[in-house]
């Protein structure tokens, strides 16, 4: 596609550039087209016919290096969708783009000559930026010799392809940037898997995320596409030579795209002109359990679990120490190997199935045509290589190798299915026994907690009733221990202060009539101290 030359030819081109741009004889560029003899300098751009896209030099982020790229013209926030020189940057603003006499696009800077294209010798070639964002090289008959859509960067625009062409060996894939300031190829690549008819994000050589198989309308693990079917149209095409998926927008005025970002997420973005910002319609993977095979073989991911990953029933971590360090990629291994037999008359013999509910089914399923769920079960049971099956909507699916990419889903998730895992019967009995014990322990715990709560409530009620009964009867005045005022001093009595919030108020005691009568000698005149507006006042005598 491109090459770099450091020679005297670059200097010659630069001299021609300076001369041509300073005269009126050779214009530097038309609005949307660059022709032989024209130059696009750092301070200039070419714009597509309807001013949708713009081509020129840019510096990503806060960097001071230069790349040739394409971005949206009408979007206030510069959003680059294609970079010509991802693997080679320029350090001065003197770089310029031109079409050479052999018909190729070349970036010049001093003695450096960087080939963006590498086509055969053609004359009268022009480079035109289309409203689709596609930069095309065309001959004088308008035949396309080269197009940027065949060499994607990190952005999957409407009309672009994801897949490959067997006849030409061309692969349409999308590679993330290394960082927001470095558009060179990063760690994540979006590719098309023809075997499973799915989109895959690769992290180096490892699968990071899968979209699930294409069913003619959506990808199986991307139900969010259903609500966006009115918005854009995904199509899949395979004719033996080319295999790819592409999409178009129903409303051509809408600005929307898909991007593989530096974190490995595939994001669908739409520009909102009213708020002048990008709106995220969806992204994948959304969470840990969406990352492909996060829990390894025979592991199952659960977003509500503290450590995300657990082994399937009858399995244990393959590398226990790694699991303790939250590295689950090693997956799980069987505790007891399958016997490849079934005997319903003797407990503990042969293989059986344990049912798991609301799970995301594993990767790489195989369809089996059978009339019922029982026939599906027997089909797997009688096949020694079958390790699990699922039956839904009249369709039987079996698995015959490592179970990858499983997850426990929420009750509200419509992708949740019943899943039947094959285990040796003895292991299944152990699992059932363990489950029974766990249920018993859970019920005992619930019972003890309930009894504790009932006891606390009962004791509270008893205390309240006793206090009420005590207040109705009153205290015995003869046995009451007096002080000036409980919790106070003489100073507090003679000089009362405002009550403080952090100090309890003193309750006035109530005494029963019999003890008051006895303490005042039946209210005798000898004990009478005087009489006022509130009635007579008596002194009391009591034994301390």
The residue ranges of every structural domain in the chain are 1-148, 152-286, 332-431, 477-491+505-538
Q: Is 223 helix (H, G, I), strand (E, B) or coil?
A: helix
| Helix/strand/coil for 486 | coil
Reported as a single tens digit per residue, the pLDDT across 168-207 is: 889 999 999 999 899 999 999 999 998 889 999 999 999 9
Residue 25: what pLDDT? 37
CATH of domain 1-148: 2.90.10.10
Cα–Cα distance for residue pair 210/221, rounded to 1 Å: 8
pLDDT of 491: 46
Give the Cβ contact number of residue 499 at 10 Å. Answer: 10
Q: Which residues of 38-70 are buried (b: 16+ CB within 10 A; e: fewer)?
A: bbbbbebbbbbeeebbbbbbbebeeeeebbbbb
Lowest mean pLDDT: which of 41-55, 124-138, 318-332, 522-536?
522-536
Higher pLDDT, 208 or 518: 208
Q: What is the pLDDT of residue 230?
A: 80
465-478 confidence digits (pLDDT tens): 776 665 555 666 56
Residue 143's Cβ-side half-sphere holds a number of Cα atoms within 13 Å equal to: 8
pLDDT band at 13 (very low <50, low <70, confident <90, very high): very low
Model confidence pLDDT, tens digit, residues 216-225: 888 988 888 8
Amino acid 526: pLDDT: 79
Q: Taking residues 82-86, report their average pLDDT.
A: 97
Q: Which tens digits make up the pLDDT trace of 378-387?
A: 999 999 999 9
Percent of all residues in the chain with a pLDDT value above 90, rounded to a whole number: 51
Contact 124, 146 (CB under 8 A): no
Q: Which of 81-85, 222-226, 288-292 has the lowest mean pLDDT?
A: 222-226
pLDDT at 128: 97
- Was domain 332-431 assigned CATH 3.50.4? yes
pLDDT in tens, 298-344: 999 998 877 789 999 999 999 988 888 788 889 999 999 998 876 54
pLDDT at residue number 386 = 96
Q: What pLDDT score does 542 carry? A: 65
Predicted confidence at residue 21, as pLDDT, reads: 47
- Max intra-chain CA distance, the chain: 138
Half-sphere exposure of 479 toward its Cβ, with a 13 Å CA cutoff? 5
**C-beta separation of 397 from 366 below 8 A:** yes
pLDDT over 70 percentage in the chain:
82
Q: Can you give the pLDDT at residue 535?
A: 80
Give the model confidence (pLDDT) of 233-273 as tens digits. Answer: 889 998 888 999 999 999 989 999 999 999 899 999 999 99
pLDDT at 366: 94
Q: Decide if pLDDT at 495 tops 70.
A: no
Q: Is the pLDDT of residue 488 over 60?
A: no
DSSP state of 475: B
- For residue 155, is pLDDT > 90? yes
CA distance linking residue 279 with residue 185, whole number of Å: 25
Q: What is the pLDDT of residues 357-392, one digit of tens each?
A: 999 999 989 999 999 999 999 999 999 999 999 999
Render pLDDT for 30-74 as a digit per residue (tens, 0 to 9): 599 999 989 999 999 999 999 999 999 999 988 899 999 999 999
pLDDT of 22 > 50? The answer is no
**How far is the C-alpha of 142 from the C-alpha of 149, rounded, in Å?**
17
Average pLDDT, the chain: 84
SS3 of 20, please? helix
Can you give the pLDDT at residue 493? 44
Threshold 0.75, pTM exceeds: no
pLDDT at residue number 524: 81
Residues 437-452 have a mean pLDDT of 79
Collect all residues with Cβ–Cβ distance below 8 Å to 421 and sequence separation of at least 6. 312, 313, 314, 353, 354, 356, 387, 388, 403
Pure H helices in 278-382: 320-324, 373-381
- Where is pLDDT greater, at 507 or 225? 225
Give me the pLDDT at residue 430, please. Answer: 58
On the 0-12 / 13-18 / 19+ scale of CB atoms within 10 A, 145 is middle
**For residues 133-140, average pLDDT:** 96
The closest of 299, 304, 426, 305 to 362, measured between CA atoms, is: 299
């Amino acid at each position: 596609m491109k090459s770099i030359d450091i020679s005297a030819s670059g200097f010659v081109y630069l001299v021609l550039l300076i001369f041509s741009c300073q005269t009126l004889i050779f214009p530097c560029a038309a609005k949307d087209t660059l022709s032989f003899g024209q130059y696009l300098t750092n301070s200039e751009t070419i714009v597509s016919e309807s001013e949708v896209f713009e081509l020129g030099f840019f510096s990503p982020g806060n960097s001071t290096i230069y790349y040739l790229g394409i971005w949206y013209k009408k979007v206030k926030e510069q959003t680059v969708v294609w970079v010509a020189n991802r693997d080679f940057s320029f350090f001065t603003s003197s770089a310029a783009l031109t079409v050479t006499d052999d018909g190729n696009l070349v970036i010049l800077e001093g003695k450096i000559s960087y080939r963006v294209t590498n086509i055969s010798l053609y004359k009268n070639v022009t480079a035109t930026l289309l409203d689709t964002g596609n930069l095309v090289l065309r001959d004088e008959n308008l035949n396309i010799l080269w197009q940027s859509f065949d060499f994607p960067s990190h952005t999957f625009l409407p009309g672009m392809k994801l897949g490959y062409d067997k006849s030409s060996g061309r692969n349409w894939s999308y590679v993330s940037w290394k960082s927001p300031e470095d558009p060179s190829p990063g760690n994540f690549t979006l590719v098309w898997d023809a075997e499973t008819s799915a989109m895959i994000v690769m992290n180096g050589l490892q699968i990071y995320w899968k979209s699930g198989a294409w069913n003619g309308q959506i990808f199986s693990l991307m139900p969010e596409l259903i609500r966006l079917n009115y918005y854009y149209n995904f199509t899949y095409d395979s004719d033996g030579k080319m295999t790819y998926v592409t999409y178009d927008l129903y409303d051509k005025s809408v600005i929307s795209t898909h991007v593989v970002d530096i974190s490995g997420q595939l994001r669908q973005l739409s520009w909102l002109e009213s708020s002048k910002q990008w709106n995220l319609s969806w992204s994948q993977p959304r969470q840990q359990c969406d990352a492909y095979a996060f829990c390894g073989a025979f592991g199952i991911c659960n977003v509500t679990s503290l450590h995300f990953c657990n082994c399937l029933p009858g399995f244990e971590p393959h590398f226990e120490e790694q699991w303790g360090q939250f590295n689950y990629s090693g997956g799980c291994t069987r505790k007891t190997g399958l016997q490849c037999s079934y005997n319903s008359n003797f407990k503990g013999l042969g293989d059986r199935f344990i049912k798991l509910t609301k799970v995301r089914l594993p990767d790489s399923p195989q369809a089996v045509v059978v009339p019922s769920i029982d026939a599906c079960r027997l089909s797997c049971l009688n096949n020694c290589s079958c390790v699990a099956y699922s039956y839904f909507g009249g369709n039987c699916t079996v698995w015959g190798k490592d179970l990858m990419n499983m997850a426990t889903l929420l009750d509200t998730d419509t992708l949740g299915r019943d899943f039947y895992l094959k285990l040796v019967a003895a292991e299944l009995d152990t699992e059932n026994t363990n489950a029974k014990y766990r249920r018993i322990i859970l019920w005992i715990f619930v019972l003890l907690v309930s009894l504790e709560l009932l006891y606390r409530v009962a004791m509270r009620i008893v205390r309240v009733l006793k206090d009420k009964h005590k207040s109705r009867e009153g205290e015995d005045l003869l046995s009451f221990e007096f002080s000036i005022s409980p919790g106070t001093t003489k100073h507090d009595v003679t000089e009362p202060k405002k009550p403080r919030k952090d100090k309890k108020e003193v309750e006035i005691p109530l005494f029963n009539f019999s003890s008051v009568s006895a303490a005042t000698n039946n209210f005798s005149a000898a004990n009478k101290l005087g009489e006022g507006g509130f009635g007579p006042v008596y002194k009391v005598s009591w034994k301390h």
